[in-house]
Structure 1
Amino acid sequence: MSETQSSAARAPSSGFSLFYYASPQTFFPLAGKLLWPCWIAAALLTLAGLYIGFFVAPTDATQGDSYRIIFIHVPAAWMSMVVYLAMAFWCAVGLVFNTRLSFMMATALAPTGAIWAFVALWTGALWGKPTWGTYWVWDARLTSELILFFLYCGYMALQAAIDDPRRADRAGALIAIVGAVNVPIIYFSVKWWNTLHQGASVSLTAAPTMATTMLTGMLVMALAAWAYTIGAALVRVRAIMIERERSTDWVRKLVSNGDSKA
């Protein structure tokens, strides 16, 4: 038994302890309990955000109704960057502390992050056609977002190409950590270079440049994206735990009992 498992076994059953849940055996049931709240929140927030964005928010004076794709495009672009940073964070934690669960979390996040990057690119292309007259330009932000999508794909492809999970985790971690430098490039590209892409509509240092109703709809959709991402990652990490820990007693007991909600 590893040191992490020993610490988890000695942890008290009452109260919340991050160290207690650092073991796949103890995190597995917690992840199962968090699934339904995440799915319900994602569904309700998505319905509310789409209703505000498509039926309540006013028509833009310049772009007309074509701007409404912002309620999908912007949250997807945000999440593509946030998920990559979270993936890089878990990889770094895994390398420093040699924790299995950290690498599992990074692996679980990668497909969802790639989906968000893909959605951001395609919705951006659909928005660009009526706005710029073309689906794609080699704009700094568009190009760096495309690189982010390739980084996700490269991370997953490298892990799939290596049979040993330990080696695959460490090799993928290098891509994730080094590639994290691309995220600030995406965010600041509209400030650093002269690009077609518009600047940020929401900033921590300045007042929003859009109507309150528009901002509300976009933020609600962003929360929906958060809830979906957490739910999808929890589903995937539970599957990864069962696959990688299949030789352990707790997984054998779980499988033999047929208790997927354990």
Structure 2
Amino acid sequence: MHRFANPARFTRIADRVLPFVAVAALASLGIGFYLALFVAPGDYQQGESVRIMYVHVPSAWMAMFIYVAIAVASAVALVWRHPLADLAAKASAPIGAGFAFLTLATGSLWGRPMWGTWWEWDGRLTSMLILFFLYLGHIALMHAFEDQQRGYRAAAVLALVGVINIPIIKFSVDWWSTLHQPASVLRLDGPTIHASMLWPLLITALGFKLYYLVLVLLRIKSELIAARLRALDLAKLSAT
């Protein structure tokens, strides 16, 4: 793990990987959205509004996945003091917040015609809103202190405490009465969604995950460049 702590080695690996991941992301998103918009059928109850699902569901999966990734990076940073772990968490938080916001926005757009309301204070929706606020809190703590390391430590603690919200999002539809339907893909007895809708959904979800990987690698690289520039500025000040 510490082999990748060297910024120069990480940058070399990222430069090699990024073109392939970017092409795979574009291909997955292009194929996924084409299938979702032009090939997958409309739903017999929801009609064409079911196509919101192809953005809403992968966004929700990514919002939860990225927060877990931040929690893991935070644990690595706190325990092993891995220098790139904090940067990975910092780079991931705005991306996760964007996915969480997209989940809430598309959910509201779908909920208005289906449920007759833009919002409902049930377990799934409320816990996803809490996740969005956790992201905002993580970002704020990262920039709340003059000492950057203090900000990293505070944000890491919040990430580890907040990860308890992830199983609540997942299982709230089973634990409490809710308007939100139960899981139809990630089930012990297998997916209940038809293959004509499942495959576009899974391909789009893969595209979202690859897109996240592209963004997080680019953001970590930019953080490393910014740190190098700050070090050069300090060296110049010290020399004068």
Question: So what's the TM-score if we normalise by structure 2?
Answer: 0.93
Partner residue of 1:10?
none
Match of 2:189 among 192, 203, 206: 206
Partner residue of 1:101?
84
Contact 2:58 2:204 in 1 (8 A): yes
Partner residue of 2:30?
47
Match of 2:157 among 159, 170, 174: 174
Question: So what's the TM-score if we normalise by structure 1?
Answer: 0.86
Distance 2:220 2:90 in 1: 8
Distance 2:75 2:9 in 1: 22
Q: What CA RMSD, in Å, does the superposition of the two structures yield over aligned residues?
A: 1.4
Partner residue of 1:38?
21
Partner residue of 2:106?
123
Match of 2:127 among 138, 144, 153: 144
Distance 2:63 2:199 in 1: 20
Partner residue of 2:238?
none
Deviations for 1:65-114, whole angstroms, at most 9, x for unmatched residues?
11111000000000000000000100000000011111111111101100
Amino acid at match of 1:58: P
Distance 1:216 1:190 in 2: 24
Note the 1:4-43 alignment, pairs <5 A.
18-43=1-26
The answer to which structure has the higher helix fraction is 2
Unmatched segments (≥5 aa) in structure 1: 1-17, 253-262
- Tell me how far 1:163 sits from its aligned partner: 2.1
- Give every structure 1 segment of 4 or more consecutive aligned residues whose post-TM-superposition deviation is greater than 3 Å: 245-249
Unmatched segments (≥5 aa) in structure 2: 236-240
Contact 2:2 2:82 in 1 (8 A): no
Partner residue of 2:49?
66
- Greater mean alpha carbon deviation, residues 228-237 or residues 196-205: 196-205
Calculate percent identity across the aligned residue pairs.
45
- Tell me how far 1:247 sits from its aligned partner: 5.5
Secondary structure at 2:229 match in 1 = coil
Contact 2:111 2:117 in 1 (8 A): yes
